[in-house]
Structure formats: C-alpha cells, structure tokens
Amino acid sequence: MFAIDDVVVATKGIDLGKMVVTGLSSGGFYVRVEVDGMSLTYPARDLQKA
C-alpha cells in the first residue's frame, strides 16, 4: 500500500520515471500521482515504490 508523498514508478503503461503519490481512492485500487506538473491516475497494481 502507498501513502501520500511516497515516490513510485510505473511497472506497466507509460514510464514517466519517479512520480509522487498525491492521493488514493477510497478502495485503494487507484493511486493519484504527480509528475512534471501533470496529475495522473494509475491502478495501484501497476506501481511500485522507487
């Protein structure tokens, strides 16, 4: 499980390098991340801690 401000990287999809967790869905299935000023949502299973 991830916490706010954790640094993560994508294991699937577009690899944007290190991203910072900015939010979590209520069920924990999706993680909101920010990288280079963009805010994106990734499935939690497609991320790992950097």
Q: What is the pLDDT of residue 30?
A: 97
Instruction: Work out how many domains the chain is built from and give that number.
Output: 1
Q: What angle do CA 10, 12, 38 make, to 5 degrees?
A: 50
**13 part of a folded domain:** yes
| Contact status, residue 31 vs residue 23, Cβ threshold 8 Å | yes
**1 part of a folded domain:** no
- pLDDT tens for each residue of 1-50: 899 999 999 999 888 999 999 999 999 899 999 999 999 999 999 999 99
Domain span at residue 40?
A: 6-49
**30 part of a folded domain:** yes
The span from the CA of 37 to the CA of 44, in Å, is 20
Domain of 30, CATH number, reads 2.30.30
Q: What pTM does this model have?
A: 0.90
